[in-house]
Structure 1
Amino acid sequence: PRCHFSYQLSVISYQFLAVSFKLSVFSTSSCSFGIKNTEYSFFYPLKRGDFRPQFFGKGKGRYRSFTYPQIKLNCIEGNKINLPKIGKVKLIQHRLIPEGLTIKSVTISRKADGYYVSLSLEYKSVPALTTNVEPTLKNTLGIDMELKEFLVTSEGESVPIPHKYRKSQQRLKTLQKGLSRKKKGSKRWLNSVKAVAKQHKKIADKRKDFHFKTANELLSKAEVIAHENLNIKGQALTSLSKSINDAGWGQFLTILTVKAGNAGQKTIAVNPKNTSQDCSNCGEKVPKKLNIRTHSCPHCGIVIDRDLNAAINIKNRAVGHSVLKARGARCNSRAAKRESLHYSASLVWEYVTQLNFTKSH
């Protein structure tokens, strides 16, 4: 039979009373929040019919974080944070908490290079932003994402791919070679595992920083950003998987969508069919192979770059100047709403600091 949240919470409460000497190191609120997250991730997708719930073992899928849904307002004192049942822990603050904000919850997460604390802050005077922007030819910018360049805009500008993973392959090769020569389970093997994980995190952080800066630059140029509704998961299974994963299209589009929503702007995903084949000037279809990088239309005589032609077609479809119109705004999709919970900052701001887990007395 299904164990509801209320039943599991009552069991946890009884355990705290019955064997309090063993569970005294745990916080009741953090345990209840973990049960709520487990129920949401296990039963809600099944209710929607997305997939069958699956239990993960000790490796992939296990929790690497826990949350305090309630905490004292003055929990941060200087360079220390006072956590329930743990005590005062030293931390490295990368910025101060703005005045007038209230701490709502605290999440402790473990990553490859240490522990992090994320504070969810509430500012009641922040108005709720609405995205009522209608796409026009003046306020819309189309982007075509490729593997030769990271993206090409409808204005003719291009952003090169930084190739963060490929540039670090030699370093990863050295670390993984050293890991393979260590005895599994030994202290040196564990140190090598941590070194490889730190290198992967360093690559991911650089890529994420590039995505944030690129999204910020695009949103400063237009109110509406139009892009193709790509099947990124399907394309990542092809022979170009390394290049696609190195570019990080999915993460970039998620960041772009959430940042646009927070700024009162919009992103629109259009049908990607024949964006490179159709002429952006006359609308006629001009078939060409992938190795042909120039669009030359025999009907109207226009000659432009293939990616620029695709970006202009994407912009026209978002505005509505094409037979194949946009499928809809990405900000209204279920995946974007679910992912925006980790990035959204319209009413709740995230405040992240690194922890030094040496309990002070």
Structure 2
Amino acid sequence: MQLRYNFRLYPTPGQRQALARAFGCARTVYNDGLRTRQEAHEQGLPYVSDADLSKRVITQAKTTSERAWLSEVSAVVLQQALADLNTAYRNFFASITGKRKGPQAAPPRFRSKRDDRQAIRFTKNARFAVTAGGRLRLPKIGDVPVKWSRDLPSEPSSVTVIKNAAGRYFASFVVETSEEPLPESASEVGIDLGLTHFAVLSDGRKIDNPRFLRRAERRLKKAQQALSRKAKGSSNRKKAAAKFAKAHARVADTRRDFAHKLSTQIIRENQAVYVEDLYVKGLARTKLAKSVHDAGWGRFTAMLAYKAAKYGRHLGKIDRWFPSSKRCAACGTLAGSMPLNVRSWACPCGAVHDRDVNAARNILAAGRAERLNACGGTVRPAV
């Protein structure tokens, strides 16, 4: 399986200028390619093929005085920018024709130099390398210092250099990794994700919701107010914007670290993990949007998925419409209407349930039943 390994870069001032030049050239080629295809569509001309587009916006453009500076960066960076555009078009066409599942993909749009995130990609054709001194050698940029937090498991097939809104640089390597199965575990767990508690496990454990964004709101508010007072275009405004972006980056880093540690712990302890297939995008349209985004359920479940595949565990997702909270985990009786303010309830069978723990146990039971059916078990319950 393919995974990404991210490392922090510390380019010199000269290398930062070279990277800024590469970001700008890649963005220009992407926008030129998009404009060429849009103009061909408006004029009723055939769709411009990938090869013809590369010839127009890269090969021929370099010979003109307006785009001669494209030769100052690696040609692989320009080709990869067009590859991103071609992928965006294929996804859009597959989406509108029904070949691509999920939400409809939007058509490609122009990239701006004011985007918070700038990125370029180098493949093996660019001959990037990690030097003996532990630096990342990039063509026409130089040997960039890297903060190695771990070893790469194999030779990377590509590297993406990213600059985020906080002005930090990262190298994202794509590497091929093999599965590392953990020793078999007899335990299985169901997880009920929520806002009061980030996660409630079927064994009764409750993981508190850290609320990283809520805790940092005061600091973020002060940084936003300081930014709003600065004159547009001034150096002080740039400094205030960088400070504001760093504050947000600190929140994102803390949330990511929490999700990594919790997902790793759960995967190591359990042979099978079951979660609800939550529609986070829909929940983010409600009045709880800020809290939903702060929780980061989508990223957490994505981490569970790839770590389960890597370590030989099973991850099952339960239908979001499954009545996990209202069904008695002891007898299966389905309760009536249950508002969110009801945190515990009693079943006619005599069982008293904590709402979230009961939901986690039902998720575990439903996941086990679904997995049994997938493995060839009986569909109908026994008489």
The TM-score bracket by the shorter chain reads: 0.7 to 0.9
**Percentage identity across aligned positions?**
29
Query: Counterpart in 2 of 1:102?
Result: 155
The 1-side partners of 2:81 and 2:199 are apart by 40
Superposed CA deviations along residues 228-267 of structure 1, whole A, max 9, x for unmatched, are: 1111111111111111111111111111111111222222
Structure holding more helix per residue: 2
The 2-side partners of 1:227 and 1:7 are apart by 47
The 5 A counterparts of 1:98-247 are 101-111=154-164, 112-122=166-176, 126=178, 139-247=187-295
Query: Cα distance 1:74–1:252, how it changes in 2: closer, same or farther (>3 A)?
Result: closer
Taking only aligned residues, the RMSD between alpha carbons, in angstroms, comes to 2.8
Match of 2:359 among 292, 310, 319: 310
The 5 A counterparts of 1:39-50 are 39-49=86-96, 50=104
The 1-side partners of 2:271 and 2:210 are apart by 26
Greater shift in the superposed pair: 53-62 or 230-239: 53-62
Query: Counterpart in 2 of 1:357?
Result: none
The 1-side partners of 2:219 and 2:372 are apart by 43
Give the aligned length.
314
Superposed CA deviations along residues 64-94 of structure 1, whole A, max 9, x for unmatched, are: 1111112447542415322101122333333
Query: Counterpart in 2 of 1:68?
Result: 122
TM-score scaled by structure 1? 0.79
Query: Counterpart in 2 of 1:89?
Result: 144
Superposed CA deviations along residues 332-351 of structure 1, whole A, max 9, x for unmatched, are: xxxxxxxxxxxxxxxxxxxx
Q: Is the 8 A contact 2:91 2:105 kept in 1?
A: no
Q: CA deviation at 1:17?
A: 5.8
Q: CA deviation at 1:29?
A: 1.2
The 5 A counterparts of 1:321-336 are none
Structure 1: unaligned runs, 5 residues or longer: 329-361
Query: Counterpart in 2 of 1:272?
Result: 320
TM-score scaled by structure 2? 0.75
Structure 2: unaligned runs, 5 residues or longer: 1-45, 97-103, 375-383
Query: Counterpart in 2 of 1:53?
Result: 107
Q: Is the 8 A contact 1:56 1:62 kept in 2?
A: no
Query: Cα distance 1:74–1:242, how it changes in 2: closer, same or farther (>3 A)?
Result: closer
Q: Tell me which of the two structures has the higher relative contact order, counting C-alpha pairs closer than 8 angstroms and 6 or more residues apart.
A: 1
The 2-side partners of 1:113 and 1:57 are apart by 18
Q: Is the 8 A contact 1:27 1:85 kept in 2?
A: yes
Supply the AA of the counterpart residue of 1:104.
S
Q: Is the 8 A contact 2:122 2:128 kept in 1?
A: no
Query: Counterpart in 2 of 1:286?
Result: 335
The 2-side partners of 1:74 and 1:47 are apart by 36
The 2-side partners of 1:52 and 1:21 are apart by 32
Match of 1:15 among 51, 54, 61: 61
Query: Counterpart in 2 of 1:341?
Result: none
